Amino acid sequence: MPISTSPETDVHGDRIKRYRPTARVLHWLTVLLLVMQFPIGLYMVYRGPGQNVWDVVTNTLYAGHKSIGVVVLVLAVTRLVYRLSVGAPAPAQTLPAWQALVSQLNHWSLYALLLIVPSLGYLAINYFPALVIVGPIALPAIVAPDRAMYARVIDWHGIGAGILAMLIALHVAAVLYHRLIRRDEVLARMLPGSTS
């Protein structure tokens, strides 16, 4: 599928094939939410189950984590539908074949986990149950309460979040490598602010 490009060139004089503006906005919104979500999740677990502190702060952390999780799931579905319908630029010309393959595997694994991890979180709060976000606002129930299943699913959610964090770290390390060492166009393809 055709992908819009900008007239900018990289250090080698090759034209940079950028992601479309919509793809870039969805990407950076996801980044912003995950930057909030991981520390909120860790701190709420530290305060709640870890320190047995169940107060307004802990409840607010849980409410925020659930709310952001729902938004991340909606964004992930939107991104996947957009990616499958619109496509993406071909791998950067500077990437060796093995790096392009690893990049593709990492990208699709990230898509999968951005769907799986919040889905497991939602399933877990159904089993607990803890569907209330704030005041009278609650998420819809999809299964009957079951504390044994909650314990399993919340563990899977945590494991999935850990794997997601590792894949994100790999993704960021690759971006920094291309930006600081290779000095090629890989990061420029996803940077906001350019026209395409």
Question: Tens digits of per-residue pLDDT, 126-141?
Answer: 999 999 998 899 999 9
59 confidence band (pLDDT: 50, 70, 90): very high
Token couple for 112: 């999968």
pLDDT above 90 covers a percentage of the chain that reads 81
Each residue's pLDDT tens digit, 92-116: 888 899 999 999 999 999 999 999 9
pLDDT in tens, 7-37: 444 444 445 589 999 999 999 999 999 999 9
The mean pLDDT value for 128-156 works out to 96
Chain mean pLDDT for the chain: 91
* pLDDT of res. 93: 81
pLDDT value at residue 16: 59
Q: What is the dihedral of CA 143, 144, 145, 146, to 10 degrees?
A: -90
- H-run or E-run covering 137: strand 137-138
C-alpha to C-alpha distances, 170 to 17, 102, 174, nearest whole angstrom: 22, 10, 6
- What integer pLDDT is reported at residue 110 of this predicted model? 98
- Rounded to an integer, the average pLDDT of 164-181 is 96
Predicted pLDDT of residue 14: 44
Q: What is the average pLDDT across 178-189?
A: 90
**Helices then strands (H, E): number in the chain?**
4, 2
- Residue 40 confidence (pLDDT) above 90: yes
Number of CB atoms found within 10 A of residue 51's CB: 10
Q: What is the mean pLDDT of residues 40-55?
A: 97
Q: Which residues of 101-117 are buried (b: 16+ CB within 10 A; e: fewer)?
A: eebeeeeeebbebbbbb
| Most confident of the ranges 15-19, 47-51, 86-90 | 47-51
Q: In the predicted model, is pLDDT for residue 3 greater than 60?
A: no
